[in-house]
Structure 1
Amino acid sequence: MESFSELVELSGLLNDFRQPWFVAGGWAIDLFIGDVTRVHKDIEIAIFRKDQSSLREYLVGWEFTKVVNGKMEPWNEDEWLELPIHEIHAHAKNTLFSELEILLDESSQSEWRFRRNLDIARPLSMIRLRSDIGVPFLAPEIVLLYKAKNPRSKDEDDFYRVCRLLNEERQVWLKQAITLCHPGHHWLAEIHAS
């Protein structure tokens, strides 16, 4: 089984990056739980869309691609990425992280916004948690909302591992968000929020 050592290294790599960033996806679920529960094929981090140029400047010498309609294309240096583009890959040679998957999250001055439905929001103060080992990660209810669209077996496992650990407020928010995006989703019956 893996350990969190790669995430500690990642945190060191991004230590001087002055904009908010957070581990996303399955690793965020494991950071919330405090244990590595499964094998992860990659590390995803999220940043706010408004900070994309800052990250590019920070990762000097890295090569960048963007995902457009499921295909990788070069991300030109002065190009500003708008929705629906939300996924970037950063490639470096001679580093522990030969590739990073970077997700662009939407935000306003005070709120995170769900890119698939911008009416779904969360206060910025609620979306970024910090693990016991000091690694920032995306709040698990937001990770689960992303995973709810087309859940694979690993997403189902992540949901059942973490949902019962969410406090009432996080469960209520998740239930409302999934109801808006995916009415009738089978996870709704499992969320015990009122």
Structure 2
Amino acid sequence: MQSAWYPDGLDEEELAFQQLYGPWRVSTPQEAGELFDGYSSDWWIAGGWAIEAFTGVRRPHEDIDVSLWRKDVETLRQHLKGRYHLWSNDSGRLSPLTDGRPEQPASADQIWIRRHALAPWEYDLVLNPDRDGRWIFRRDPSLDFALDEVTWIAPDGLRYITPEMALAYKARLNRPKDQEDLAVTLPLLSATRRNWLTDMIDHLHPSHPWLPLICGT
């Protein structure tokens, strides 16, 4: 029965998570592009897929990190209406976004979507705040950037977080997969990107073990 509902190869923690919330389907950037085709505002891809888009190095993916502006929740809801059900995720507490209750809770930064109650979840959408149209860095909300400073358009035509910003996010957890992403990305970064990443990680995590690696010392 387990194999009928959950994909093979899930570790114990991920299996327990899916048994609690329901199964997940792993989507690709190309599928995300189809999902957002015709969407009237900005969206972008972060995390491991952003690293792969920059380096060209294939890696396993447990999910896809798609972000959009928090202010555009209603735009998203209308774009997906009739195709997907949207659920706000507030630290694990899920509630549907419907015509009768369309407001995203202020404390909820994620929206999960699926086609219907018996379908797997397909996307965990992360809501990014803005300050007068500028992208707010959620690791340090005092910092903001123009969207074009922290994203780029890859050859596949999709917008991704820059590799240095993706690594700045990944530094906090420093998991084995984050270390692997650093290893494949670092040789491809320009001096300007390396310096930016060094300064940002030093700001967020002084004495982080990545700093000597990035500086080449």
Query: 1:33·1:162 contact (CA, 8 Å) conserved in 2?
Result: yes
Which structure 1 residue ranges, 5 or more long, are not aligned? none
Aligned to 1:99: 122
* Aligned mates of 2:93, 2:48 — CA distance in 1: 22
* Aligned mates of 1:170, 1:105 — CA distance in 2: 23
Is the aligned partner of 1:121 residue 2:154?
no
Flag the structure with higher strand content: 1
The one of 40, 44, 62 aligned to 1:41 = 62
| CA offsets 1:18-68 (integer angstroms, 9 cap, x no match) | 1111111101110111242x1111111011212222112111131222332
1:178-193 to structure 2, matched below 5 A, reads 178-192=201-215
* Aligned mates of 1:191, 1:75 — CA distance in 2: 43
Query: 2:88·2:97 contact (CA, 8 Å) conserved in 1?
Result: no
* Aligned mates of 1:23, 1:116 — CA distance in 2: 17
Is the aligned partner of 1:14 residue 2:49?
no
Matched letter for residue 34 of structure 1: G
Q: Percent identity?
A: 30
Aligned to 2:45: 23
When normalised by structure 2's length, the TM-score is 0.76
Residue 170 of structure 1, CA deviation? 2.3
* Aligned mates of 2:115, 2:174 — CA distance in 1: 31
Structure 1 window deviating more from structure 2 (106-115 vs 148-157): it is 106-115
Runs of 4+ deviating beyond 3 Å: none
Residue 110 of structure 1, CA deviation? 5.0
Residue 72 of structure 1, CA deviation? 3.7
- Taking structure 1 as reference, are residues 189 and 106 closer, same or farther at Cα in structure 2, changes over 3 Å only? farther
Aligned residues: 184
Aligned to 2:167: 144
| CA offsets 1:108-164 (integer angstroms, 9 cap, x no match) | 235321113112333322122111121221111221111111121111111111123
Larger Rg: 2
Which structure 2 residue ranges, 5 or more long, are not aligned? 1-26
- Matched residue of 2:143: which SS? strand
* Aligned mates of 2:187, 2:145 — CA distance in 1: 20
- Matched residue of 1:80: which SS? coil
Residue 98 of structure 1, CA deviation? 4.8
Matched letter for residue 41 of structure 1: E
1:145-160 to structure 2, matched below 5 A, reads 145-160=168-183
When normalised by structure 1's length, the TM-score is 0.84
